[in-house]
């Protein structure tokens, strides 16, 4: 679906053309700003959709079925993915599943995106081996604190 050409007279050719360009790619599916606003009823930025597209690509998502099986926790662990990108993802899932209730049922008792990102960061910190530089800098701070 595309933006009505009648808009061009008021908004300009560049705006209408860019409104129809794909901003969210989920496997072979490409959605424009117009699609986000009208088909998904998702008032989000093209930047968030682009970040989501890159994240899905990083996770190796190549089709709609894989994207539907994806959990927001997987997205929350990718640097740069924030609440707006996850909002775009949930809008798309709502359209695919048929309702907000279906999305809520799929995810169950939810937590905020901020909580998800914090949990993922803590898990990654536990899995990361300790840094030798970090140990040196902590010892130096301890010496400074004792001598003061």
Does 44 have pLDDT greater than 70?
Answer: yes
Report the predicted TM-score, pTM, of the whole model to 2 decimal places: 0.70
Give 31 or 143, the one with higher predicted confidence: 31
Does 135 have pLDDT greater than 60?
Answer: no
Tokens of 85: 């990108």
Give 2 or 17, the one with higher predicted confidence: 17
b/e per residue 118-129 (b: at least 16 CB within 10 A): eebeeeeeeeee
Identify the helix (H) or strand (E) that includes residue 120. helix 113-127
Domain count of the chain?
A: 1
Identify the helix (H) or strand (E) that includes residue 104. helix 100-107
Check if the beta carbon of residue 32 is closer than 8 Å to that of residue 22.
yes
Angle at 78 between CA 114 and CA 136, to 5 degrees: 85
Q: Give residue 134's domain range.
A: 5-147
């Amino acid at each position: 679906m595309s933006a009505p050409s009648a808009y061009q007279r008021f908004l300009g050719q560049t705006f209408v053309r860019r409104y129809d360009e794909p901003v969210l790619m989920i496997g072979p599916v490409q959605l424009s700003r117009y699609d986000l606003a009208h088909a998904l009823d998702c008032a989000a930025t093209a930047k968030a959709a682009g970040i989501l597209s890159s994240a899905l690509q990083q996770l190796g998502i190549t089709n709609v079925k894989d994207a539907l099986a994806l959990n927001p926790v997987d997205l929350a662990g990718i640097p740069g993915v924030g609440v707006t990108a996850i909002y775009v993802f949930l809008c798309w899932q709502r359209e695919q599943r048929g309702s907000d209730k279906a999305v809520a049922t799929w995810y169950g008792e939810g937590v905020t995106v901020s909580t998800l990102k914090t949990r993922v960061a803590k898990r990654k910190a536990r899995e990361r081996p300790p840094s030798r530089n970090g140990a040196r800098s902590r010892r130096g701070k301890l010496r400074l604190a004792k001598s003061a």
